[in-house]
Structure 1
Amino acid sequence: MTIHIGAAKDDIAETVLMPGDPYRAKWAAETFLKDAKLVNEVRGMLGYTGSWNGHPVTIQGSGMGMPSLSIYANELIRDFGAKTLIRIGSCGGMQDRVKVRDVILAMTASTLNSPSSGIFRELNFAPCADWGLLQAAAQAAAKRNAATHIGGIYSSDVFYDERPDLNEQMVRHGILGVEMEAAELYTLAARHGCRALAVLTVSDHLGTGEALPSDQRERSFGDMVEIALEAAFS
């Protein structure tokens, strides 16, 4: 048990999926895990542990933004022994070829700032995914015929962005989409020798303004969860 995770040590699996929304954690656990059990509800940040194809899996909400994710990822790694952490969440598409409902596998995650920035000082650290997870996720996505893009994303530290000039440069340099957590997750995984990946569903597009209707999200997010689970145990 930690300050933010009220689970017993044995209640957390070595493989953890981390959606930002705690209710998405509940939905994913009830939909994809066998015998899912609520193991954390401190501050309403729900976490569940069950099994997938016989493998123990925890699905723990991370909250929005890198500071919130950093709290949960640090405690999951340091206090509960998590070894594989996969972010499952939504993102905004940035390239014309990236469409709403597509899946993005984040190879790298650029950011202006993160909770770990103070450690590096003048160094621009390049957070990246675990290659084995990335490769396995790409294979799982291909098997499902999911429209998938692999490349760099941007982890923003604000939701309501007012930097159209920065967005223009990211599009120019091939950034696929924007979200708010992956860069810190990748940095923490590198620091502690863990595996990390972000598997993201494009829920809206910054260029076109298109957004995924709520009644169509479940199927699209289901692809993302299944890709993450298959990648974790390939």
Structure 2
Amino acid sequence: MTVHIGAKPEDIAETVLMPGDPYRAKWAAETFLKDAKCVNEVRGMLGFTGTWNGNRVTIQGSGMGMPSLSIYANELMKDYNAQTLIRIGSCGAMQEDVKVRDVIIAMTATSLSTPSRGIFREINFAPCADYSLLEAAVTASRKRDVGTHVGGIYSSDVFYDERPDLTEQMMRHGILGVEMEAAELYNLAARHKRRALAVLTVSDHLITHEALPSDQREKTFGDMVEIALEAAFS
């Protein structure tokens, strides 16, 4: 048991999926895991452990933003020995050919700053996904009727962005989408020698301003979860 995760050590699996929304963690656990059990309710940040195809899996909410994710990822790695951590969540598309409902598999994660900035100091560390997970996720995505894109994403410090010049440069340099957590997850995984990946569903578009209605999200979010699970156990 840690400050933010009330589970016993044996309650957390070595493979952890991390949605930002704790209720998405609940939905994913009830939908995809067998015998899912709630193992964490501290501060309402729900976590569940069950099995998928006979493999133990924990789905733990991380909250919004890199500081929040950093808390949960640190505790999962250092106190619960989590070995594989996959962020599952939504993102905003930043390229014309990336469509709402598509899935982005994040190879790298650019950021303006992260909670790890104080460690790196003058170094511009380049956080990236674990290649074995990345390759397995791409393979899993090919089995599904969903548009899939592999490349760089942008992990932003803010949701309500007031830097259109920065967004323009991200688009200019081929960044596929924007979210708020993956860069720090990749930093921490590198530091603690763990495997990490982000598999994201495009829920809105920064260029076309299209947004996915809430009643149409479940199926595409399901593709994202299944891709993450298959990648973890390939």
TM-score class normalised by the smaller sequence: over 0.9
Structure 1: distance between partners of 2:146 and 2:158: 29
CA–CA distance in structure 2, aligned partners of residues 130 and 191 of structure 1: 13
CA distance in 1, matches of 2:50, 2:168: 43
The amino acid of 1:200's aligned partner reads L
The whole-number CA distance in structure 2 between the counterparts of 1:123 and 1:104 is 27
- The equivalent of 2:98 in structure 1 is 98
Identify unmatched segments of 5+ residues in structure 2.
none
Say which SS state the counterpart of residue 143 (structure 1) adopts: coil
Please tell me whether residue 87 in structure 1 is matched to residue 75 in structure 2: no
CA-to-aligned-CA distance 1:110-135 (integer Å, 9 cap, x gap):
00011000000000000000000000
Distance 1:146 1:57 in 2: 24
Q: Please give the per-residue CA displacement for 1:174-199, whole angstroms capped at 9, x wherever unaligned.
A: 00000000000000000000000000
Q: Which amino acid aligns with 1:68?
A: S
Supply the distance in 2 between the matched residues of 1:115 and 1:205 (Cα, whole angstroms): 27
Query: For the residues of structure 1 that align with 2:192 and 2:207, how far apart are their CA atoms?
Result: 37
SS in 1 for 2:142: helix
Matches of 2:229 and 2:137, distance apart in 1: 9
**Partner residue, 1:166:** 166
Aligned residue for 2:199?
199
**Paired residue for 1:144?**
144
Partner of 1:117: 117
Which blocks of at least 5 consecutive residues in structure 1 are unaligned? none
CA distance in 1, matches of 2:165, 2:156: 14
Q: Which consecutive aligned stretches of 4+ in structure 1 deviate over 4 angstroms post-superposition?
A: none
Quote the Cα distance in structure 1 between the aligned partners of 2:72 and 2:134: 22
Corresponding residue pairs, total: 234
What CA distance in whole angstroms lies between the structure 1 residues aligned with 2:136 and 2:142? Answer: 10
What residue identity is the alignment partner of 1:119?
I
Could you tell me the percent identity over the aligned residues?
A: 81
> Are 2:27 and 1:27 equivalent residues in the alignment?
yes
Q: One-letter code of the match for 1:55?
A: N
SS of the residue 2:133 aligns to: helix
d(CA) in 2 for partners of 1:176 and 1:163?
17
TM-score scaled by length of structure 2: 1.00
Q: 1:143 Cα deviation (Å)? A: 1.1
2:231 equivalent in structure 1: 231
| 2-structure distance, mates of 1:95, 1:224 | 19
Which AA in structure 1 matches 2:29?
Answer: A
| TM superposition shift of 1:146 | 2.0
Is 2:38 the counterpart of 1:38?
yes
State the Cα distance separating 1:33 from its structure 2 match.
0.1
